[in-house]
């Protein structure tokens, strides 16, 4: 009787290197160390006072629909604030209160505005969720439109960082690649094409097949749940290539080692004839 021995080879195990840089919590902690919060009750009193106050709601339209909004607020999604704020609020001294669903993204935006030279910026502590919990009034129906004109009278312009300065700083830290090179990199090495545009942008402009969709303000909080390995190539894309530079820099600070962003953004990708959907 012969005995047959079967040799079973174990599948190779590939080690994952977790990113060891900053976490979303670290970004928020840094922002709150340099910015000031304001309570819901005080915000309501100031909004009712008739004095100049800009309540800047940076949430997504999905969040408006889910939770409602505060009367008198101005809509400006998180990623667009630094690019539009000087036109929207051309006075560094007017009180600006940043409102989010909670207060993580709003604290980060408040810190950015302080760096831009705005001298009277606050973030709404606890955001709309705490406002609602305290029984303060919310509007739950109607149309929300992104602000396209000044929400405050002209005064003394801020003289701090400009949006271009944030982008230039990011581009010094992270290399931009052209759309064709980005596509070659993804085809050759694999990795993640991270689309940080809003749902409204993707609906109106078109999407990217196989892209991981994650709105800009949420990236630092949820990317680690989606991309576990610090060595995974990540190529970030937005509409024109400015917001993506800033997000790519954040990812690098979080410990991801192979990060680029698409120069010219989705518009450049589409212009050279790469596939969209």
CA 85 to centroid of chain Cα atoms: 15
Q: Is residue 149 domain-shared with residue 168, that is, in the same domain?
A: no
* pLDDT attached to residue 149: 63
Q: Is residue 122 domain-shared with residue 178, that is, in the same domain?
A: no
Counted domains in the chain: 2
* Residues 234 and 191: beta-carbon distance below 8 Å: yes
CA distance 233 to 235: 7
Q: State if pTM tops 0.85.
A: yes
H or E element at residue 110: helix 104-115
Mean pLDDT on 209-235: 96
Residue 265 belongs to some domain of the structure: yes
* C-alpha dihedral sign at 24, 173, 266, 82: positive
CA 40 to centroid of chain Cα atoms: 24
**Would you call 238 a catalytic residue per the annotation?**
yes
> Beta partners for 54?
96
Strands (E), the chain: 36-38, 53-57, 74-75, 95-99, 121-124, 176-177, 192-195, 212-213, 234-237, 259-262
pLDDT by residue (tens digit) across 196-207?
999 999 999 999
* pLDDT attached to residue 3: 53
CATH of the domain at 128: 3.40.250.10
pLDDT by residue (tens digit) across 154-206?
889 999 999 999 999 999 999 999 999 999 999 999 999 999 999 999 999 99
Residue 28 belongs to some domain of the structure: yes
* Residues 206 and 270: beta-carbon distance below 8 Å: yes
Residue 183 belongs to some domain of the structure: yes
Q: Which two tokens stand for residue 249?
A: 């820099």
Domain-terminating residue out of 158, 192, 212 = 158
Exposed, middle or buried: residue 229 (CB in 10 Å: 0-12, 13-18, 19+)? middle
Mean pLDDT on 135-149: 81
Residue 146: pLDDT band (50, 70, 90) is confident
CB atoms within 10 A of CB 154: 9
What is the maximal distance between C-alpha atoms in the chain? 98
Would you give the end-to-end CA distance of the chain in angstroms? 64
Q: Is residue 78 domain-shared with residue 53, that is, in the same domain?
A: yes
> Which residues span the domain enclosing 141?
24-158
Q: Among residues 80, 98, 147, 238, which one is catalytic?
A: 238
Asked if residue 4 has pLDDT above 80, the reply is no
């Amino acid at each position: 009787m012969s005995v047959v021995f079967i040799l079973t080879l174990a599948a190779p195990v590939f080690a994952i290197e977790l990113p060891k840089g900053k976490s979303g919590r670290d970004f928020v902690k840094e922002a709150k160390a340099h910015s000031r919060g304001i309570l819901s009750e005080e915000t309501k009193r100031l909004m009712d006072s008739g004095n100049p106050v800009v309540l800047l709601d940076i949430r997504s339209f999905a969040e408006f629909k889910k939770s409602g909004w505060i009367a008198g607020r101005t809509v400006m999604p998180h990623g667009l604030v630094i690019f539009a704020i000087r036109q929207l609020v051309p006075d560094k001294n007017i009180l600006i209160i940043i409102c989010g669903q909670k207060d993580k993204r709003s604290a980060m935006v408040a810190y950015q505005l302080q760096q831009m030279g705005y001298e009277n910026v606050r973030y709404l502590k606890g955001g709309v969720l705490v406002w609602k919990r305290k029984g303060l009034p919310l509007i739950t129906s109607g149309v929300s439109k992104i602000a396209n004109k000044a929400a405050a009278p002209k005064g003394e312009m801020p003289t701090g960082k400009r949006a271009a300065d944030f982008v230039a700083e990011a581009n010094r830290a992270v290399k931009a690649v052209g759309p064709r090179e980005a596509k070659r990199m993804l085809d050759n090495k694999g990795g993640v094409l991270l689309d940080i545009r809003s749902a409204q942008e993707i609906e109106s402009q078109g999407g990217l097949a196989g892209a991981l969709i994650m709105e800009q303000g949420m990236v630092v909080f949820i990317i680690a749940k989606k991309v576990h390995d610090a060595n995974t190539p990540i190529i970030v894309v937005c509409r024109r290539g400015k917001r993506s530079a800033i997000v790519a820099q954040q990812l690098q600070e979080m410990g991801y080692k192979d990060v680029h962003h698409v120069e010219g953004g989705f518009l450049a990708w589409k212009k050279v004839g790469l596939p969209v959907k």
